Amino acid sequence: MEEVEVELLKLIENNANLEVEKIAKLMGKSIDETRELIDKLEKKKVILGYSTLIDWAKVLNEEEVTAMVDVKVTPARDVGFDKVAERIYRFPEVKAVYLMSGTYDLSVSVKGKTMMEIGHFISEKLSALDSVLSTTTHFVLKKYKHDGIILQDADEGDKRIVVSP
Amino acid sequence: MSQISYISKQVADLKPSGIRRFFDLAAQMEDVISLGVGEPDFVTPWNVIEQSFHSLEQGYTSYTENAGMMELRQEISKYLSGSYHLTYDPSDQLIVSVGASQAIDLALRAVIDPGDEVIVVEPSFVAYVPTVRLAGGIPVTVQTEAEDEFKLKPEQIEEAITSKTKAIILCNPNNPTGTLLLQEELEQLAIVIEKHNLLVLSDEIYAELTYDDAYTSFPTVPKMKERTILISGFSKAFAMTGWRLGYAAGPTEIIAAMVKIHQYTMMCAPTMAQHAALEAMKNGRQSVESMFESYKQRRNFIVSSLNEIGLQCPNPGGAFYAFPSIKATGLTSAEFAEQLLQEEQVAVVPGSVFGANGEGYIRCSYATSLKQLDEALNRMKRFVQKRM
Ligand SMILES: Cc1ncc(COP(=O)(O)O)c(C=O)c1O
């Protein structure tokens, strides 16, 4: 990957709504060059989407529950864990799936409106899959930091005096 | 009735910093976007902060050696040799100071006798002229020109030299212009400096923040090491202005003289800050680089935006200041800064506070978030359009 591509990715990693004009100025490139660079990264599927990180806990009636589920599975012949992982990640309730080393095989993050809803999904859908041997569910109680972003209301305002040497 | 003043003539004659006046003005206003700050907008990297907590928990709450913790001096020495192939003996050629500010003060007091002249290159950092005066010296200012990108030329040193000239202060990259002097340019200056036997105070506090060209540390220029006091610190590159930690490296005799003053006036730099600086030296590289990356992008952003709105601005090679011309508005730099603050609540520093040739320019620090920078430039555009 070229250096300019990495620079661009770092710029938009935490600020997906940065306008092309600004990205171009920041990188000292023309708008056309920048747009081309973005297109290329999208085509290569390096840029997969532009999402917004929202602290739903702050939005009334929009609270949601997250569970991290440790899943033990029987791998299938030839395709190992991939097939069962696919069965699992296709469920819309499932937000992330990772193959793990250690005492279980897949780490699955599940989101729902309520604990009941998640419980339902796990017992009816996830555990019911043939290759799933067992599940252990951990509910997330509070989020402090997500994807590198601190979610607390820590005062991070500018503490500098307005004019200094 | 006449009042007795107890203030020394030396101090009474010092002019208050021109920056201070703007600070007082800006402090009374709300929602000011400041491009007036000469310090990073980043908070010190967390591992550095954490290390100072840890040092306190371990009970490091007493004085260190006068010249600074040996381990820190060794680390600084390693850094200077790794980055610039400069070898300084940590035992007697390095001193840890209370900011680069104190290192400048110590260096001047260590070498100046009353009446000695010191060349100060303007536009310059606001502290040089007063610290030369306080040390009993006479500052002789040299005005660099915008058409030379504010680069000092050897003839200019030559013209300023008298039989009393003892030293010259170089600041590279420069505050406020952001001008970066390159190897060949420094070599040209070195010829005159050697010919006239000058001592050099090389303020390299912005050395880590140079964007397009390779950085040359002044003492690496042939024959300059033995006549240069290299001054630097942690404030800018590591975002540690409040920790008050800097250092000087130089010839044994001069450093010894500086340590002598330091031990009677300061004892040592703050211990917890020294522990933090040690961590910064050992494990701070990545933070420096990521902050550097942001500064560089913001430099590109502010320079092209200023030029777009009609404030002609060359591309500064280093530091985090843009120094655009405001001559097209017909205002003096003080009027520009004051009116901009009143009308649009954007604080910049009038170029005139940095010396005579700073008139017609303003200093805009881009050590501020992109969002703030963007908004500040929108406001400046509105302000400038009304006047051109
Ligand atoms: C050129 C220059 N030298 C020295 C300093 C002072 O640095 P410190 O915080 O290390 O005292 C500054 C701060 O603005 C500066 O711009």
A62: its two tokens: 């929009």
Is A25 near chain B, with CB under 8 Å? yes
**Tokens matching residue B22:** 């703007």
pTM: 0.90
Min Cα distance B96 → chain A (Å) is: 21
Q: Would an 8 Å CB–CB cutoff place B298 in contact with chain A?
A: yes
Q: Who has greater pLDDT, B220 or B3?
A: B220
At residue A165, the pLDDT reads: 67
Using a CB-CB distance cutoff of 8 angstroms, which residues of chain B are in contact with residue A27? Answer: 297, 300
For the segment B114-124, what is each residue's pLDDT rounded down to a tens digit? 999 999 999 99
Say how far apart CA B174 and CA B160 lie, in whole Å: 20
pLDDT in tens, A39-52: 999 999 999 999 88
Instruction: For ligand 1, pick from B236, B244, B354 the residue to mutate: most ligand atoms within 8 Å of CB.
Output: B236
Question: In this complex, is the C-beta atom of B374 within 8 Å of any C-beta atom belonging to chain A?
Answer: yes
Please check whether residue B22 touches A, CB under 8 A.
yes
Question: From CA B153, how far away is CA B158, in angstroms rounded?
Answer: 9
C-alpha–C-alpha distance, residues A6 and A16, integer Å: 15
Chain A interface test: which of B17, B34, B321 (most A C-beta within 10 Å):
B34
pLDDT for residue A152: 77
Q: How far is CA B50 from CA A28, B54, B79, in A?
A: 36, 6, 22
CATH number, domain A3-43, options 3.40.50, 1.10.1660, 3.10.450, 1.10.10: 1.10.10
Structure confidence at residue B2 (pLDDT): 66
State the pLDDT at residue B304. 96
Show the beta-strand stretches assigned E in chain B: 33-34, 94-97, 117-122, 138-143, 165-171, 199-203, 228-233, 246-249, 321-322, 346-347, 349-350, 362-365
Q: According to CATH, what is the number of the domain A56-143?
A: 3.30.70.920
Section B35-62 average pLDDT: 94
What gap in Å lies between CA B199 and CA B177, rounded to an integer?
23
Instruction: Pick the closest to residue A96 from A117, A71, A63 (CA basis).
Output: A71
Name the closest residue on chain A to residue B374, using Cα atoms: A22
Find, in chain A, the residue whose alpha carbon is nearest to that of B241: A160
Ligand 1, atom 13: closest residue by C-alpha: A165
Ligand 1 center–CA B26 separation, angstroms: 22
Query: How many angstroms separate the CA atoms of B119 and B192, rounded?
Result: 13
The verdict on B349 touching A (C-beta cutoff 8 Å) is yes
* CATH number for the domain running over B9-44+286-385: 3.90.1150.10
Nearest CB partner across the interface for B37, out of A7, A26, A164: A164
Q: What is the pLDDT of residues A120-164, one digit of tens each?
A: 999 999 999 999 999 999 999 998 998 888 887 767 778 888 877
Q: In percent, how much of chain B has pLDDT > 90?
A: 91
- B44 by Cβ neighbours in 10 Å (0-12 / 13-18 / 19+) ranks as buried
Q: Give me the residue spans of the domains in chain B.
A: 9-44+286-385, 46-283
Confirm or reject CATH 3.40.640.10 for domain B46-283, answering yes or no: yes
CB-nearest to A165 from B32, B38, B368 is: B38
